Structure 1
Amino acid sequence: MDWDKLRIFHAVADAGSLTHAGDKLNLSQSAVSRQIRGLEESLNATLFHRHARGLILTEQGELLFDATAAMTRRLDTAFARIRDSEEEVFGELRVTTTTGFGTLWLSPRLPKLYERYPDLKVDLMLEERVLDLPMREADVAIRMKEPSQADLIRKKLMMVRMCLYATPDYLADHAAPRTLEEIKDHRLICQNTDSDQVGAGRSLVQHLMTQNIRSMLTVNNYYGVLQGVLQNLGIGVLPDYVTEDFPDLVQVLPDLTSADVPVFLAYPEELRQSQRVSAFKDFVQDEIISYRKRLRANSDS
């Protein structure tokens, strides 16, 4: 296997141009073209369709590009692990979590992480899709259920519940519901039950919708739900951790909550010794411990 030809092929496929790939690799266009031609001859396959506006991968080229992309990710991970210092934390760390948790809980706390490790480069990927950690789509994941993928180290961080919240201004203008039946007189702000979300949150919303609610605002993530609540549009279904950063929110019908939702942190076994991963894991755990202490202090006061 000619690794140099594969490296050049990947650069060309990524750039879509021999010239741009050559500039990136510090090679002439003719040298890049020779390497691609040699690779195609060795594989007895055409890897690119050539046209005036650039290069497009053929079906065979797409297969090879998928393989070189996976190989590049694994090499980047290996290089990062090799560079990991026992005394310093630096380099890129790819973290994936849901949009709601990432925007409402994690992002507001990241300044503390950068204070500790100013040379860390966090790539925060917020999406409901579960990324494949063993395939190096991300380094660390924080998910609202226990990961099912093999070869992962996992740690339960905390339990979350979905509850009903409104602003004091909204409740001053609208009589707070005292029973489940009275929720139909208010606008409900929640995630659509067809959107990706934790099952406990979906079950709570489905239960509320049995009351024939007349007006609703549905959003595809909890950040959007929170914004609707803060604009006094109605009563929102939100995770209970939002109350720490938005202490003025009032819980409505406190006995009406979802089942507990576990929050897990996970990363691949091969990153067990990574200083970047260890630093992030310790930071999140410290923040969770502080969060729990504040909750206990508030409940005791």
Structure 2
Amino acid sequence: MDWDKIRLFYEVAEAGNFTRAGEKLGVNQSSVSRQISALEQELKVPLFHRHARGLILTEHGDVLFKAAQEMRLRLEMTRQRLTETSERPAGALKVTATVGIGGIWLAQRIKEFLDLYPEVTIELILTNSELDLAMREADLAIRLRRPTQPDLIQRRLFTIQYHAYAAVTYLERFGEPVSVEDLDHHRILSLGGGQPEFILDLHRLTILGRNPKDPRTSHLTVNDSLALRRAIESGAGIGMAPDYAMNSNPEVTQVLRDVEMPSLEAYLVYPDEMRSVARLQAFRDFLVTKAQRWAY
């Protein structure tokens, strides 16, 4: 099959209609429609269901779209490899991390990497959802649990300890809890929203030392870990947070120090096919070095 025709088909499938695909490719709508019809005749199968509101892939079209997507990714990877050398890493690198790790730990260190490798550009995607690395939704990920997806290289970075924290101003006003039972008389701040269950489990002061069927009231529930940290710092109440986000902050203090609290292992993860890409190797080695220095 002609790659130009497949590329045209791919853009139409991505756009969902002939007009938008034509605008992106600089071709008029009628020409795009004719070329797709010609491709369908050549393959002897329909690729789209045509509706007034747009185009929907047929079963055959979906098979071709997935193949075209894989071809496009491999061509892009080949192009990027040809433009860099191991001595001079260059090109774009898409990195994903959780909101907390990426927004605090990684963001504080990224300047040094950019200074070391000025020809590498970083796209940092902060999300608690696990992007599909095999489909190149990202090139490299920092994850808070061991990955189960096959064909991924993984390396443990460090252990993240979580503890209960409150602002000094809050404790001056309400006193410090000395036991888990004392939390019954304090304002509890919680992480919520559409987070993975294992992330939510880290922040459940509402059920610490209690029957889960009879939880404490959460006076504030927020779906963003950075916003939760800000609320703790402001004196809104007591909440769970990772030590790396709070240790250097003189405005907050750890409470319930004698209570065993949860921890997570952070992993560096990337596809096996990216193993020899110079810019990924450089970023991987940089992160490992920073993690070792930080952990010890």
Which TM-score band (shorter chain)?
A: 0.7 to 0.9
Cα deviation per residue 1:128-152 (whole Å; 9 max; x = unaligned)? 2222222322211111111122222
- How many pairs were matched up? 291
What CA distance in whole angstroms lies between the structure 1 residues aligned with 2:25 and 2:232?
A: 51
Name the counterpart of 2:171: 171
Name the counterpart of 1:297: none
Tell me if 1:246 matches 2:249.
yes
Name the counterpart of 1:221: 224
Pairwise CA distance, 1:57: 2.5
- Look up the SS of the partner of 1:198 in the other structure: helix
Name the counterpart of 2:132: 132
Q: 1:65 to 1:278 in 2, by over 3 A?
A: same
Name the counterpart of 2:55: 56
The 10-residue stretch of structure 1 (249-258 or 213-222) with the greater mean CA deviation from structure 2: 213-222
What CA distance in whole angstroms lies between the structure 2 residues aligned with 1:203 and 1:98?
A: 18
Name the counterpart of 1:296: none
What CA distance in whole angstroms lies between the structure 1 residues aligned with 2:277 and 2:39?
A: 35
Name the counterpart of 1:96: 96
Amino acid at match of 1:79: R
Cα deviation per residue 1:248-271 (whole Å; 9 max; x = unaligned)? 321011122423311100111111
Q: 1:180 to 1:65 in 2, by over 3 A?
A: same
Aligned residues with identical type, % of pairs: 35
What CA distance in whole angstroms lies between the structure 2 residues aligned with 1:24 and 1:193?
A: 36
- Look up the SS of the partner of 1:172 in the other structure: helix
RMSD of aligned C-alpha atoms? 2.7
What CA distance in whole angstroms lies between the structure 1 residues aligned with 2:78 and 2:207?
A: 46
Name the counterpart of 2:263: 260
Q: 1:282 to 1:134 in 2, by over 3 A?
A: same
Amino acid at match of 1:286: T
Pairwise CA distance, 1:239: 1.1
- Look up the SS of the partner of 1:148 in the other structure: coil
Verify the 8 A CA contact 1:91 1:120 in the aligned structure 2. Answer: yes
What CA distance in whole angstroms lies between the structure 1 residues aligned with 2:250 and 2:72?
A: 45
The 10-residue stretch of structure 1 (150-159 or 102-111) with the greater mean CA deviation from structure 2: 102-111
Name the counterpart of 1:47: 48
Amino acid at match of 1:166: A
Pairwise CA distance, 1:23: 4.7
Name the counterpart of 1:38: 38
What CA distance in whole angstroms lies between the structure 2 residues aligned with 1:30 and 1:215?
A: 58
Provide structure 1 residue ranges, at least 5 long, that are not aligned to the other structure.
294-301
Name the counterpart of 1:106: 106
What CA distance in whole angstroms lies between the structure 2 residues aligned with 1:208 and 1:218?
A: 19
Name the counterpart of 1:292: 295
Q: 1:159 to 1:150 in 2, by over 3 A?
A: same
Name the counterpart of 1:207: 208
Pairwise CA distance, 1:108: 2.7
Verify the 8 A CA contact 1:9 1:36 in the aligned structure 2. Answer: yes
